[in-house]
Structure 1
């Protein structure tokens, strides 16, 4: 059976691939440390679990509107007003099966064949693939390491063509942890306004910022920028609800309606029980978020200091998310491997530590390490990497 061309063109997710390899080794009895997964190691806060259970017992197990429960949309509207001072109507919100699905649906309703979307590199692995699935063309613009992995207005301007439909911004970033300043966002936003380009603002890591840094949504910076911005977010990272699969998109009412129409013929609706959990996430106590954030910041400080002492590792200290993204080209050279990808495979084979090669993020000189696991496990992983470097230097 011949598969559709759009599926044949897909590149498998590097994060899921490395996780699958690590799980296979674990199943064989190996002591594997997996630093590839992009999810908090904390359980979902208990008040969210209890609210979802209560909803189930009270009959909240039926179909909901395709675009999500009105009660949850209202919770999202209140959250945006409280956190970003942004005013939206519930009709400008769609609840989706995770933030990834919000992005997928957005590109499906936005792009025609040949439309271009500007994707800064390093990028989250699914951005280019989702653009291609919608018939669009991802235009990669390098966020240079010396600029903190962030693109400039000049780079953006030069990448725009008559086919440019949208630009993606991800701050804090997966995989780099980089955060765009208010001034940097405003400069990029002005270029998009000038060329009438939609801004797709992926803000899934907004709650995970460190060292006094605060998240700014690009939609906050002017009414003109807000009109051209689609905010993508969800509860997966902020409330440790990765498996609940609740995300949302907020923005232009016509785009939201088109996404809702698409949902009515695809998912029907996000899981009702998970939606009730998300209501509790936004309307309930927020202390668990702060506790998780403080734990991540403590791990980052400890692990970063140790990581940069490993021979051949060069790393910008991130200010958000829960990833380190070191440049390891010198480490690869010291151990005489052909590429970073081969080096990563060798570390998994010899030391049973699973890292994610940067090639999957459009940055082949780097690797991604998640510190969303215990400090004890992280220190053991670094010990193994250090041992690998000692054994393989020639």
Structure 2
């Protein structure tokens, strides 16, 4: 039986596919350490759990407006003004089932098939997969250590530029100067931007600035995506939202209406409580200790280069001196050592591996890292 041409060339995201593979192995009774995605060992904030528990005592959980309950959108707009320095109102906010839905709907209303989208590499796989589903011309550009005007001027003309700040997987936190270079380029080229700021609370070094913290963000056409999944250890709650020009929010509502309608009422309750939390110092302190532990474990290993990232739940290791075929490396690791990682090919960069280091306890973390080292040492000796 044939499927449509629209979907025939699509493949499952490598990130979710590897995680599902881990789940299957665990159902079969296997013991597997999963570094393939970031799943926090922290519970969701107590205030979130309490708010949802209270909501469950209500006799009714009604449908809300497609774009989210008006009170929630107003509170999210206030968060944008207070924390992100964005001139936003409720009409600029749409509540979504996590960041992926916000990304898809944003690209859908901002582009037409054949339009060009620029994606910096390495990249979150969903940027490329979603652009492909929408028939866009994807231009991958290696992200430099520092963004400056000269780099931006070398970029081709495009309809949309996708920026990830803080960055998955490298942990880069863009400076205000770098963001100003991007904003100037957008003004000069007439290009729009989607900025994924899902890791805004997971910053160890530096300060997070929003690209849309400029007076003309709406005229420039900047969409900013937020998610509670990582910043608040709420992976399965599917609580996210986008801040976009009002005309695009209306268009996104028109798209979301016949697909999912509103986000579930309980997820909206959770989102309201989560984004009211603000900073998460205890979670961040724990992640910092884990980050430093893993970086220190890899420091004496000659075949890998891994720096302590400035942000985020991932470590990005360069093993190109050992092998550029990190798909094969990851396959051997899960088959023989029962440890799952994400090969760099999935993020556009062969020769690298991504490690989600925030799951399980410290003993399990050490065991998983030692397995990676053991495989690499075996390959280096062979």
Counterpart of 1:24 in structure 2 is 24
* Contact 1:227–1:251 (Cα < 8 Å) also in 2: no
Preserved CA contact (<8 Å) 1:67 1:94: yes
Change (3 A) 1:286 1:195: closer
Distance 1:2 1:49, change over 3 A: same
Q: Supply the distance in 2 between the matched residues of 1:132 and 1:153 (Cα, whole angstroms).
A: 28
| Cross-structure match for 2:106 | 106
Aligned to 2:352: 366
Question: What's the secondary structure of 2:330's corresponding residue?
Answer: helix
Indicate whether 1:341 and 2:335 are aligned.
no
The question of whether the paired residues in 2 share the 8 Å contact of 1:141 and 1:156 is answered with no
Q: C-alpha separation between the residues in 1 aligned to 2:59 and 2:118?
A: 44
1:115 shift after superposition: 0.6
- What is the CA RMSD across the aligned residues, in angstroms? 1.8
1:159 is displaced (CA, Å) by 2.8
Deviates more, 1:323-332 or 1:353-362: 323-332
User: Residues 281-314 of structure 1: CA distance to partner in whole angstroms, max 9, x if unpaired?
Assistant: 233x557x22111111111111112123223001
- Please report how far the alpha carbon of residue 348 of structure 1 lies from its aligned counterpart in structure 2 after TM superposition: 1.5
1:290 corresponds to: 281
Matches of 1:44 and 1:210, distance apart in 2: 20
Whether the 8 Å CA contact 1:344–1:357 is kept in 2: the answer is yes
After TM superposition, the structure 1 = structure 2 runs for residues 1-394 of structure 1, keeping only pairs within 5 Å, are 1-144=1-144, 147=145, 152-161=148-157, 164-211=158-205, 213-220=206-213, 222-225=214-217, 227-228=219-220, 229-283=222-276, 285-286=277-278, 289-332=280-323, 339-373=325-359, 374-392=361-379, 393-394=381-382
Superposition TM-score, scaled by structure 2 size:
0.94
CA contact (8 A) 1:117 1:166 kept: yes
Q: CA 1:107/1:59 → structure 2, altered by over 3 Å: closer, same or farther?
A: farther
C-alpha separation in 1, matches of 2:199 and 2:54: 28
SS in 2 for 1:159: coil
Gaps of 5+ in 2: none
Tell which deviates more after alignment, 192-201 or 375-384. Answer: 375-384
Structure 2 Cα separation of the partners of residues 255 and 59 of structure 1: 35
Is the 8 Å Cα contact of residues 311 and 389 (structure 1) preserved in structure 2?
Answer: no
Partner of 1:384, secondary structure, is: helix
**Distance verdict in 2 for CA 1:226–1:262, change over 3 Å:** closer
SS of 2:159's partner is strand
Residue 147 of structure 2 contacts residue 181 of structure 2 at CA under 8 Å; is this kept in 1?
no
Q: TM-score, normalised by structure 1?
A: 0.91
* Cα distance change, pair 184–351 in 1 and its aligned pair in 2 (3 A): same
CA distance in 2, matches of 1:152, 1:119: 16
**Contact 1:119–1:168 (8 Å) recurs in 2:** yes
Q: Larger deviation: 300-309 or 247-256?
A: 300-309
Q: CA deviation at 1:331?
A: 2.6
Give the whole-Å Cα distance in 2 for the aligned partners of 1:236 and 1:218: 21
Question: How many positions carry a matched residue from both structures?
Answer: 379
Superposed CA deviations along residues 109-145 of structure 1, whole A, max 9, x for unmatched, are: 121121111100011001011112222121111114x
Q: Is the 8 A contact 1:170 1:202 kept in 2?
A: yes
- Residue-by-residue CA offset, 1:6-63 (whole Å, 9 max, x unaligned): 2122232111122223233333333211101223221112221121121232245111
